[in-house]
Amino acid sequence: MKEIVLDTETTGISVKEGHRIVEIGCIELDNLIPTKNKFHCYLNPERKVSEKAFEVHGYSDSFLSDKMKFGEVADDFLKFIKNKRLIIHNAEFDLSHLNNELKILGKENIDNEIVDTLSLARNKFPGSQISLDALCKRYRIDNSKRVQHTALIDCDLLAKVYINLIDQKEPTLDFKNKEEEVSKLNTGKVIYSTKVIKPSSEELKNHQIYLKTSLKKNFY
């Protein structure tokens, strides 16, 4: 099944305040494997970028001034996402902006099937931080390139987070045969030994003495 991981950057938070999209990034997944198919564009929003938005993505008015307008890329964008499930982190935000841009052009709202990874993470980790950065940290995904928010980098990270969220991936433990000692590989994986070592009679005697003396002293 083909899916599209999607992210946008904007001039500000709310479409009610007239904010517009300045960047769209999309990465295609085919059965959860990223393909080489991507959609990416910077957009001239035809308005100024708010200070807070500039702090987030770093796209200045001068940088965006010569970029295409949404109307020039709309058809290509809609063709790219057609009949594909969309994977979005905080889908309400991105969809509100995308649908606003389509409304300005007199086009219909996006009606694709949507998976909101923010909702997935909220259900899976109630009470925990579920920002993209927090989820990258939880799943040990390298987000060091995310100095600022950019649509394609965010899509790449979100694709990895999404795969972990739905597969319920956890750090892998490798169990070898019973006689193997505990050791660490160069890869950082830990091999756990299941070998049972029985204590000697002398060790049992010393353990009993410990329970009667040191343990009581330490806990009371």
Tell me the CA distances in angstroms from 214 to 104, 182, 205, 206, 210, one per residue in order.
76, 28, 14, 11, 5
Instruction: Please name the amino acid found at residue 56.
Output: V
Would you name the residues annotated as active-site residues?
Answer: 149
Provide the 3-class DSSP secondary structure of residue 185: coil
Instruction: Report the C-alpha gap between 24 and 155 in whole angstroms.
Output: 10
Question: For 135-180, what is the HEC assignment?
Answer: HHHHCCCCCCCCCCCCHHHHHHHHHHHHHHHHHCCCCCCEECCCCC
Instruction: Report the C-alpha gap between 209 and 178 in whole angstroms.
Output: 31
Tracing tokens 């009610």 back to the chain, one arrives at 16
Is the alpha carbon torsion for 146, 148, 154, 156 positive or negative? negative
Q: Which residues of 108-131 are buried (b: 16+ CB within 10 A; e: fewer)?
A: eebebebbbbbebbeeeeeeeebe
Contact (Cβ atoms closer than 8 angstroms) between residue 85 and residue 115? yes
Strands (E), 33-143: 33-42, 85-88, 114-116
